[in-house]
Amino acid sequence: MKPEGQVRIPSGCAIAAVISREGRPISGGLMAEAMKPMHDRSNGLGGGFAGYGIYPEYKDFYALHLFFDQRATRKNCEVFLKERFEIIKSEIIPTRKIPAITGEPVIWRYFVAPLRSVLTSMQLDEKEFVARTVMYINACVDGAYVFSSGKNMGTFKAVGFPEDVAEFYRLEEYEGYSWTAHGRYPTNTPGWWGGAHPFTLLDYSVVHNGEISSYDANRRFIEMFGYKCTLQTDTEVITYIMDYLVRVQGLTLEEAASVIAAPFWSTIQRKTDLADREKHLYLRTLFSSLLITGPFSIVLGFTGGLMALNDRLKLRSMVVGEKEDRVYIASEEAAIRAVEPEAEHIWAPAGGEPVVIRVKDGAY
Amino acid sequence: MGMEYLAPEFEVVRNRDRCTNCRICQQQCAHEVHRFDPKRGIMISDESKCVNCQRCVAFCPTRALKIVKSDCSFRPNANWRESAIREIYKQANSGGVLLSSMGNPNDLPVYWDRLLLNASQVTNPSIDPLREPMETKVFLGKKPQRITRDETGKLNCQLPPQIELSMPVMFSAMSYGSISYNAHASLARAASELGILYNTGEGGLHEDFYRYGPNTIVQVASGRFGVHEGYLNAGAAIEIKIGQGAKPGIGGHLPGAKIVGDVSRTRMIPEGSDAISPAPHHDIYSIEDLRQLVYSLKEATRYQKPVIVKVAAVHNIAAIASGIARSGADIIAIDGFRGGTGAAPTMIRDHVGIPIELALAAVDQRLREEGIRSDVSLVVGGSIRSAADVVKAVALGADACYIGTAALLALGCHLCRTCQSGKCSWGIATQRPELVSRLDPDTGSRRLVNLMTAWHHEIMEFMGGMGINSIEALRGNRLMLRGLGLTERELSVLGVAHAGE
């Protein structure tokens, strides 16, 4: 049977997220609790978490999390990394042996800074350089896989149920101002560690529930711009699309949301605000190949905030609730109630309506 | 049989019990097959003139007629097939180049029929087009992947000129002259009503049809017939025709007999003179010359109209398309080897060019590999026969399709493939007033609207089944296709997996 990456595996899922608008620390253990009531939305073939603000002591360095199939691969890959980066710190990501999680690869993290001389000779800005390096390793270095590459954030994922994955990675030992979580229900076995969510590039991370019908249209378009979809998963292509629209093209999150979950033409036509109509007509026409169809609910994590978004028909459930400085997002209200029984203003955002929550300036 | 050594290809079978000698078949047949024999008091036929256009069959009030392929046959020979023998007799008789019309009829692979579409099951819901919005609107034109903002941070929303279509289908180029005034009127009115475009072909634009300008593509071909500033500005887009799928590499010839009255005036050439379109444009001998023509036309229309460059699908089509994409063209139209024509040398029609499915797949992939797919839209034709072909073409990577033959069929064409005779019994490929009047533009446009409306419904059903509610999410979405009975090499050119994979 072909491994993930050589074959496309659709999956259903559970997602959850939390953020403190004040930038106050939240334990990673909270997210594990939130995922428990949604146990049946996963099938034990993938779970994962992304935390923001978890590496304050290394916040100026890219935190690369890597899976290696064996020790020799790590040695080779480190040689490659050293040619391009100053490695400030490298270590095994601490884990806990538990019966529910088996067959783990070699899991390492590196805090790195790109070598100035390399950046100058390649005429690239730092982020583009890091993004290209990640693409290269994932596509070309056999047995090595970068699953997290942002600053002051990190992804933790595995094959297993999400609550077990949290225990495995000792997530309760991390604190961050925002977290996203994912439980996977792939329709094919075996799930692969790299195929679990969140999927990340630089500091963008995506957790996603759904199976998009536009996948190959999106993939073939985004691959024109240097991205390589090595996993053939929806989440991977959505992450690259957001990176392309926001980082490369310079769209705002709201503008990017109106590209991937564009309003219907008839809705655009009905808009009475002419400038708004013109903007939507423009964005939809220009980036028509990045429209995502089919069911999805996603939470995009980025430095200083989260964005939740549903497909334009709202074919997947997703609710938002708040309590004091915290905002919660989940596939089911039960997940929010599990960690905040007093949550208020529970509401279901409309299809295609982005919900952007930002930590106040200076608090992250 | 006589000196032509040829038995008629078709047999007129007349049921004497049903025939009432009403002579309608005689009036309807433009080829003078039927006549009344007063001595015997019955209708008789000269089958040597019959082209099997089915006009008499359709109009016989007692259904007394049928036209069948004659079973009179040569001694069977797998090498010297009947068509080869017949062609040799004809050439030995006339000394001329064999002429044919419409598309290549030979038994070569039709890849559309070897591609199958996907549908959603369980993991992803299908969408009911009767309940949910299903979007088929398409914009054709450049989509430059670089946004800009003004000093206040507001997006500059200026796009290069675009064509807006309500569905990804247009009527392809058929000139006034090769087809009739009424056929053009039907196409123009239908395009207008449907929110799509028709194409003038290279015969200029009749003055009566300027009012359909927003739904018209005006063509500039190597003969430059009927081209002037007003014409260029009359349409929604301009098409430079380099080649045509039915006759790649050669020009066109509309006989002087068809250059009469309005046709002469519209083409801006004297009555009775042959209209010769040279094989190449004599100002385009290389790709850099094409760029100059593209920009000349843009200058003449103040950069308000997208420019289409139409080429025939030939062996090196991917590199050619890449060159066109870099020449300033907004849209590339590719015509496959089954594309129709009003007249082409039979040998050229049947032996030059490649299938549109393979050409489209190769071009779309090449433009993506070069990162310039957004610089142009892709339109394909030759031959798109159904809504399924449209959906498959879009999934392979087309922005829209051109249909010619399908549109003519809707107008009554029965594919007798003798347009070059100018005696079209259905009033389409003729300039004879008594034949032209047989095609009523009210009926013609209504039938075209019916056809496109039916396809539109079918396209939406396909999309809904795939869980796709907007056509742009289908474009280039090759995972929605699987091949059946194709070789590894064919699958690799098409960029699709085999069924079961």
A83, A121 contact by CB (below 8 A): no
Please state, in angstroms and rounded to a whole number, the distance separating the CA atoms of residues B396 and B383: 15
**A274 close contact with B: CB closer than 8 A:** no
E strand segments, A93-134? 106-114
Q: What percent of chain B lies above the pLDDT cut of 70?
A: 99
Write out the two tokens for B336: 């496959």
Confidence bin at A13 (pLDDT 50/70/90)? confident
Nearest partner of B340 among B425, B406, B421, B412, judged by Cα = B406
Write out the two tokens for A218: 């999106």
Write out the two tokens for B425: 């019994």
What mean pLDDT, rounded, does chain A reach?
92
Q: Are strands A305-310 and A296-302 parallel, antiparallel or unpaired?
A: antiparallel
Smallest CA–CA distance, residue A238 to chain B, in Å, is 14
Residue A4 has pLDDT above 80, yes or no: no
**Catalytic site includes residue A13:** yes
Please state, in angstroms and rounded to a whole number, the distance separating the CA atoms of residues A30 and A34: 6
Please state, in angstroms and rounded to a whole number, the distance separating the CA atoms of residues B339 and B343: 12
Alpha helices in B370-440 (DSSP H): 387-396, 405-411, 433-436
Owner of token pair 């299908």:
B126
Confidence bin at A230 (pLDDT 50/70/90)? confident
Please state, in angstroms and rounded to a whole number, the distance separating the CA atoms of residues B364 and B356: 12
Confidence bin at A270 (pLDDT 50/70/90)? very high
In B, which residues are within 8 Å of A288 by CB distance? 139, 143, 472, 475
Q: Do A264 and B120 touch (CB under 8 A)?
A: no
Confidence bin at B252 (pLDDT 50/70/90)? confident
Please state, in angstroms and rounded to a whole number, the distance separating the CA atoms of residues B414 and B429: 12
B437, A256 contact by CB (below 8 A): no
Q: What integer pLDDT is reported at residue A43 of this predicted model?
A: 82
- DSSP bridge partners of B239: B219, B308
The sign of the CA dihedral B75, B79, B85, B86 is: positive
- DSSP bridge partners of A322: A327, A344
Nearest partner of B341 among B241, B440, B437, judged by Cα = B241
Confidence bin at A52 (pLDDT 50/70/90)? very high
Q: Could you tell me how many residues make up chain B?
A: 501
B386, B341 contact by CB (below 8 A): no
Nearest partner of A331 among A35, A43, A44, judged by Cα = A35
Neighbours of A72 (CB within 10 A): 11
Nearest partner of B222 among B317, B303, B289, judged by Cα = B289
A202, A247 contact by CB (below 8 A): yes
Confidence bin at B307 (pLDDT 50/70/90)? very high
Q: What percent of chain B lies above the pLDDT cut of 90?
A: 92
Residue A238 has pLDDT above 90, yes or no: yes
Smallest CA–CA distance, residue B128 to chain A, in Å, is 12
**A291 close contact with B: CB closer than 8 A:** yes
**A276 close contact with B: CB closer than 8 A:** no
Q: What integer pLDDT is reported at residue A12 of this predicted model?
A: 66
Q: Helix axis angle, B387-396 relative to B356-369, nearest 10°?
A: 30
Distances from the Cα of B497 to the Cα of A362, B181, B487, B488, angstroms: 51, 46, 11, 9
Q: What integer pLDDT is reported at residue B38 of this predicted model?
A: 96
In the stretch 442-471 of chain B, residues with CB closer than 8 A to chain A read 466-470
- Nearest residue, CB atoms, B135 vs list A249, A264, A295: A264
Alpha helices in B412-497 (DSSP H): 433-436, 441-466, 488-494
Domains of chain B, earliest start first: 2-96 (3.30.70.20), 138-142+166-468 (3.20.20.70)
Nearest partner of B241 among B290, B295, B205, B292, judged by Cα = B290
A323, A338 contact by CB (below 8 A): no
Residues A248-252: contacts with CB under 8 Å, at least 24 apart: A249/B145, A249/B146, A249/B147, A250/B147, A250/B149, A251/A283, A251/B147
Instruction: DSSP letter for A103, please.
Output: S
B368-424 pLDDT per residue, tens: 999 999 999 999 999 999 999 999 999 999 999 999 999 999 999 999 999 989 999
Please state, in angstroms and rounded to a whole number, the distance separating the CA atoms of residues A113 and B29: 84
In B, which residues are within 8 Å of A279 by CB distance? 155, 157
- Nearest residue, CB atoms, A216 vs list B125, B371, B478: B478
Neighbours of A69 (CB within 10 A): 13
Owner of token pair 């590196």:
A110
List all residues 6 or more positions away from B187 whose beta carbon is below 8 Å from its beta carbon: B171, B174, B198, B407, B444, B445, B448
Residue B463, Cα to own-chain centre: how many angstroms? 24
**A188 close contact with B: CB closer than 8 A:** no
CA dihedral A72, A76, A81, A87 (to 10 degrees): 50
Neighbours of A56 (CB within 10 A): 11
Please state, in angstroms and rounded to a whole number, the distance separating the CA atoms of residues B283 and A166: 70
Write out the two tokens for A57: 């002591």
Which amino acid is it at A270?
Answer: R
Please state, in angstroms and rounded to a whole number, the distance separating the CA atoms of residues B275 and B365: 38
Smallest CA–CA distance, residue A51 to chain B, in Å, is 29
Instruction: DSSP letter for B51, please.
Output: -
B439-453 pLDDT per residue, tens: 999 999 999 999 999
What is the DSSP code string of A234-265? Answer: HHHHHHHHHIIIIIIS---HHHHHHHHTPPPH
Q: What integer pLDDT is reported at residue A187 of this predicted model?
A: 66
Neighbours of B46 (CB within 10 A): 14
Q: If you average pLDDT over residues B273-290, what whole number do you get?
A: 91
Residue B202, Cα to own-chain centre: how many angstroms? 14
Q: Helix axis angle, B441-466 relative to B181-194, nearest 10°?
A: 40
Longest dimension (CA), chain A: 62
Nearest partner of A235 among A160, A180, A280, A286, judged by Cα = A180
Q: What integer pLDDT is reported at residue A45 of this predicted model?
A: 82
Query: Which residue of chain A comes nearest to B470, CA vs CA?
Result: A293
Distances from the Cα of A209 to the Cα of A11, A268, A314, B277, angstroms: 8, 27, 12, 58
B338-347 pLDDT per residue, tens: 999 999 999 9
A164-193 pLDDT per residue, tens: 999 999 999 999 999 999 998 876 555 678
Residue B256 has pLDDT above 90, yes or no: no
Neighbours of B422 (CB within 10 A): 19
Domains of chain A, earliest start first: 11-358 (3.60.20.10)
Q: Do B473 and A217 touch (CB under 8 A)?
A: yes
Rg, C-alpha atoms of chain B: 24
Residue from A13, A77, A140, A229 carrying the catalytic annotation:
A13
What mean pLDDT, rounded, does chain B reach?
95
Residue B196 has pLDDT above 80, yes or no: yes
A173, A9 contact by CB (below 8 A): no
Q: What integer pLDDT is reported at residue B1 of this predicted model?
A: 46
- Nearest residue, CB atoms, B477 vs list A12, A217, A225: A217
Q: How many CA atoms lie within 13 A of A125 on its CB side?
A: 5
- Three-state DSSP class for residue B323: helix
Q: Do A221 and B373 touch (CB under 8 A)?
A: yes
Number of A–B residue contacts, CB under 8 Å = 110
Q: Do B371 and A266 touch (CB under 8 A)?
A: no
Q: Do A8 and B145 touch (CB under 8 A)?
A: no
Smallest CA–CA distance, residue B324 to chain A, in Å, is 19
CA dihedral A129, A169, A52, A326 (to 10 degrees): 160
Residue A232 has pLDDT above 70, yes or no: yes
Write out the two tokens for A270: 């009905």
Please state, in angstroms and rounded to a whole number, the distance separating the CA atoms of residues A52 and B337: 57
Write out the two tokens for A205: 């991370």
Confidence bin at A9 (pLDDT 50/70/90)? low
Average the pLDDT over each of B108-112, B258-262, B297-301 and give the range with the smallest value. B258-262
Q: What integer pLDDT is reported at residue A333 of this predicted model?
A: 94
Q: What integer pLDDT is reported at residue B124 of this predicted model?
A: 83
Residue B185 has pLDDT above 90, yes or no: yes
Please state, in angstroms and rounded to a whole number, the distance separating the CA atoms of residues A102 and A161: 12
Q: Do B125 and A315 touch (CB under 8 A)?
A: yes
A257, A222 contact by CB (below 8 A): no
Give the H/E segment covering residue B191.
helix B181-194
